[in-house]
Amino acid sequence: MNFLLTFLSSMIISFISYPLVKRIAFKFDAVSYPSKERHIHTKPMPLLGGLSIVFGLFVSVFLNYLLNKEFVADLKLIGLLSGLLIIVVVGVLDDIFELKAYMKGLAQLIAGFVVIFISGSTINSFTNPFNTSEVIQLPAILAIIITIIWILALTNAFNFIDGLDGLSAGTGAICAITMLAVSLVRPDAYLVGTYSGIIVAALAGACLGFLPFNFNPAKIFIGETGAAFIGFTLAVISIQGTFKSFTAISLFIPLFAFGLPIIDIVLAIFRRIKNKKPIYIGDREHIHHKLIGLGLSHRFSVLALYAASILMGIFSVILSASGMRYIWLLLIIFILILIASILFLYLPRKKAVKELQPEETNEEKN
């Protein structure tokens, strides 16, 4: 099977599994009830939609194992699937029983260590971007720590952006397609082979097969099962594929490719530390909440964030194809866009609230 067949088979499996997944969600009462503090939806919605993505990826990978001679079930694949099995089991339990945050965090930590233990995949070296002839080798302990942080951060980043219909699944598809393009155009593509491309093609197809049922107005939510599954898969594949290189751009490609979820989780962490709130406690201050607060419709907000993800994906592909040629130009453009976006989304809203407070108080007195 090639990338296209993998993509199509995964998309079809994900799409046709929707009725079964929805039935399972209602059978086990895996339902999201609206909360004024966090949620946009106003009526109970079935969860476990992420199982469609799980089915799509697992079946298409199995078909590759059977039909694709170039696709070998080596330790990288076994490590990834073993970690994903933990993520899926805990995700399903959370969608049904609402597990404590520390339980999910501990499970993600174990899943990350399982991947490292079985596959040996770590971020252990990279080229100095200021001196491309110098390869920086990380001590084993530091490599493991950085790898675990990366896996936990990206896994939870997709949970953090899972606040609007179709946002997590659509962004996951864009990121996966970006990584597929990167694996095809990079000058040292031979280092990665077909493995990473097959996995991200399967993930992209699974996300897009599920998206028609998850896009606004959603019929089913992706849940912890799907959001964590997407983030964990992309995190591990970026380690096994993108970081497996001695080119300086290997350090920057994932940062661009996964720009939206990374930016959102970084802002959330800083915001909650500043407000002296636990990092794991949700709020309505994410980027997608801000867009809704500015008056954008649900669909337009999601499409705007898709466009942002696509733009950052294009930056990532350009880096892969051109090497270091445009790295500093793209970094400057990226930083300027990021600063402008943060100022637009956050500062004007705070001023507007302060100006409206006296009028609102008078109305309340009247």
Domain ranges of the chain: 3-365
Q: Check residue 138 and give its pLDDT.
A: 85
Query: What number of other Cβ atoms are within 10 A of residue 259's Cβ?
Result: 23
Give the mean pLDDT of 19-46.
79
pLDDT at 289 over 60: yes
Q: Any bridge partners for residue 136, and if so which?
A: 126
Which of 35-49, 107-121, 310-324 has the largest mean confidence? 107-121
pLDDT tier at 348 (50, 70, 90 boundaries)?
low
pLDDT at 253 over 90: no
pLDDT by residue (tens digit) across 196-216?
889 999 999 999 999 999 998
Q: Check residue 255 and give its pLDDT.
A: 77
pLDDT at 360 over 80: no
Q: Which of 105, 302, 139, 339 is nearest to 214 (CA)?
A: 302
pLDDT at 12 over 80: yes
Q: Check residue 187 and give its pLDDT.
A: 60
Q: Check residue 86 and give its pLDDT.
A: 98
Q: Any bridge partners for residue 127, and if so which?
A: 135
pLDDT at 249 over 60: no
Q: Which of 76, 74, 83 is nearest to 107 (CA)?
A: 83
Q: Which of 230, 253, 227, 315 is nearest to 123 (CA)?
A: 253
Question: What is the pTM assigned to this prediction?
Answer: 0.87
pLDDT tier at 188 (50, 70, 90 boundaries)?
low
pLDDT at 97 over 80: yes
Contact 167, 288 (CB under 8 A): yes
Q: Check residue 35 and give its pLDDT.
A: 62
Give the mean pLDDT of 55-60.
97
Name the average pLDDT for the chain.
83
Largest Cα–Cα separation, the chain: 76
Q: Check residue 303 and give its pLDDT.
A: 93
Distance (Å, whole) CA 155 – CA 85: 14
Distance (Å, whole) CA 158 – CA 230: 7
Buried b / exposed e across 320-335, counting CB within 10 Å, b at 16+? bbeeeeebeebbeebe
pLDDT at 305 over 60: yes
Which of 187-196, 234-243, 308-317 has the largest mean confidence? 308-317
- Which pair of structure tokens corresponds to residue 125? 């070296």
pLDDT tier at 353 (50, 70, 90 boundaries)?
very low
Q: Check residue 324 and give its pLDDT.
A: 62
* Residue carrying the six token digits 């990079």: 186
Q: Which of 239-253, 264-278, 280-294, 335-349 has the lowest mean pLDDT?
A: 239-253
CA dihedral of 254, 259, 264, 267, whole degrees rounded to 10: 80
SS3 286: coil
Share of the chain above pLDDT 70, in %: 82
Q: What is the distance between the terminal CA atoms of the chain, rounded to a whole angstrom?
A: 70
How far apart, in Å, are the Cα atoms of 183 and each of 79, 154, 195, 244, 348?
A: 20, 19, 10, 11, 40
More confident of the two residues 300 and 364: 300
Q: Check residue 52 and give its pLDDT.
A: 97
pLDDT tier at 319 (50, 70, 90 boundaries)?
confident
pLDDT by residue (tens digit) across 129-162?
666 567 778 899 999 999 999 999 999 999 888 8
Distance (Å, whole) CA 57 – CA 45: 24
* Residue carrying the six token digits 């659509």: 170
Q: Check residue 195 and give its pLDDT.
A: 87
Give the mean pLDDT of 57-65.
95
Buried b / exposed e across 42-71, counting CB within 10 Å, b at 16+? eeebbbbbbbbbbbbbbbbbebbeeebeeb
Q: Check residue 230 and give its pLDDT.
A: 97
How far apart, in Å, are the Cα atoms of 136 and each of 18, 240, 319?
A: 46, 18, 20
Give the mean pLDDT of 102-123.
95
